[in-house]
Amino acid sequence: RGRYAGIGFWVINYLFQFFAMLLLLARGQAPDLLSMTGSNTLFTAGAIFVLIGLERFVEKPGRQVQNVILLVVFVLAHAWFTLVTPNQDARNILFSLALLFICVQCVWLLLRRVGAQARQMINSVSLVFVLFCVVNLLRLIIDLLIPESNIFFHSDGFRTSLIVLIQMLSIALNFTLFIMVNRRMFADLQRG
């Protein structure tokens, strides 16, 4: 009958991802600020909502001041590297740093702040966020060491592979969140 806290924040993330993808697809037709900065801001804000949802779900809510600051700095810097000094590498680095920062918070929440009893329920979600951290760190290193052409839809094979891997991890996250909620429901039914 009831609903678990945090799930609504995950729904907000899915809505943000949907609109971010629409903005990405509108690149060339929509203004750059909207299609580039707007889409990446929605992706980043969505990741923050996933973190907030996880915190509420595991009953360990935290302050989000650092993430509000992150989002403001991200938007301003991304807009700068979109309009004032266009630089695809700088935008990629900003995006990877922002996602890495948020994913590290998710890992810290799930592996350090949650009690041992709940860890069994969240192991698969923790693993997905660890993999997100690894992929974003790898993407960050590649972007720092090997400059990319400024043509977004013509990335090299390795960068394209990383983007596909991030999409696969996003799908895995959806499944693991679903499994986590089901495990909690099952545990609550056994207790109740």
Q: Could you tell me which residue, 192 or 47, shows the higher pLDDT?
A: 47
57 phi and psi angles, rounded to 5 deg? -65, -40
Reply yes or no on whether the pLDDT at 181 is more than 80: yes
For residue 75, name the pLDDT band (cuts at 50, 70, 90). Answer: very high
DSSP symbol at 34 = I
Reply yes or no on whether the pLDDT at 42 is more than 90: yes
Confirm if 39 and 24 have CB atoms less than 8 A apart.
Answer: yes
Confirm if 81 and 87 have CB atoms less than 8 A apart.
Answer: yes
Reply yes or no on whether the pLDDT at 187 is more than 90: no
156 phi and psi angles, rounded to 5 deg? -70, 170
Reply yes or no on whether the pLDDT at 183 is more than 90: no
Q: What is the pLDDT, as a whole number, of residue 161?
A: 80
In the numeric block, the tokens 């207790």 are attached to 191
Confirm if 41 and 87 have CB atoms less than 8 A apart.
Answer: no
For residue 27, name the pLDDT band (cuts at 50, 70, 90). Answer: confident
For the chain, percent of residues with pLDDT exceeding 70: 92
115 phi and psi angles, rounded to 5 deg? -65, 160
Amino acid, res. 98: A
For residue 1, name the pLDDT band (cuts at 50, 70, 90). Answer: very low
DSSP state letters, 131-172: HHHHHHHHHHHHHHHS---S-GGG--HHHHHHHHHHHHHHHH
For residue 124, name the pLDDT band (cuts at 50, 70, 90). Answer: confident
